[in-house]
């Protein structure tokens, strides 16, 4: 009876006891029966490696858990809306394609990129000043 119930979405945390979320994701996407079920990785990690590995293993969404519960609720609402749209596509075509839709906090990604560019600029300025002090320039 329970085998007849196929979920519309799987929420998967990366950090679990026993197995990692990536191991579970790989098992889900390797199973013919469950492969078509969209998987949303919901985790506190925002590491690029976790994001890319999750999508590489067939994950459909990657959501970082924000500190603010209202923000988490908004991200989950957005996810459910997207899953509903994908379900209508699945019912229409019989196929579900993996999407690269991400509810990853765009603000934190933009802030990270800004600080990386800032750090790069500081290193370049330091190297120019150092070269100038040595008389290279």
What's the confidence (pLDDT) of residue 29?
A: 93
Contact (Cβ atoms closer than 8 angstroms) between residue 41 and residue 63 = yes
Q: Which residues are 10's β-sheet partners?
A: 39
pLDDT single digits (tens) 6-42: 788 899 999 888 899 999 999 999 998 888 888 999 8
The per-residue pLDDT for range 58-96, each reduced to its tens digit, is 998 898 888 888 898 888 888 888 878 766 655 554 444
> Which CATH architecture fits 2-104?
3-Layer(aba) Sandwich (3.40)
CA distance 73 to 38: 19
Give the start-to-end residue ranges of the domains of the chain. Answer: 2-104, 107-137
If you average pLDDT over every residue of the chain, what do you get? 80
More confident residue, 101 or 24: 24
Task: Give the residue-averaged pLDDT of 107-130.
Answer: 79
Tokens encoding 15: 């950090």
Instruction: Return the pLDDT at 2.
Output: 54
User: What does the pLDDT read at residue 90?
Assistant: 55
Q: What confidence score (pLDDT) does residue 25 get? A: 94
Q: Minimal CA–CA distance to 108: which of 116, 100, 120?
A: 116
Residue 101: is its pLDDT beyond 50? no
């Amino acid at each position: 009876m329970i085998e007849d119930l196929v979920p519309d979405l799987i929420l998967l945390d990366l950090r679990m006891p026993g197995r990692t979320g990536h191991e579970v994701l790989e098992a889900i996407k390797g199973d013919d029966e469950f492969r078509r079920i969209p998987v949303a990785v919901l985790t506190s990690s925002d590491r690029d490696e976790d994001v890319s590995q999750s999508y590489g293993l067939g994950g459909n969404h990657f959501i970082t858990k924000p500190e603010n519960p209202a923000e988490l609720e908004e991200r989950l609402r957005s996810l459910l809306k997207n899953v509903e749209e994908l379900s209508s596509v699945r019912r229409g075509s019989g196929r579900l394609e993996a999407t690269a839709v991400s509810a990853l906090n765009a603000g934190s990604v933009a802030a990270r990129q800004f600080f990386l560019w800032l750090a790069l600029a500081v290193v370049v300025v330091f190297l120019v000043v150092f070269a100038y002090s040595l008389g290279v320039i």
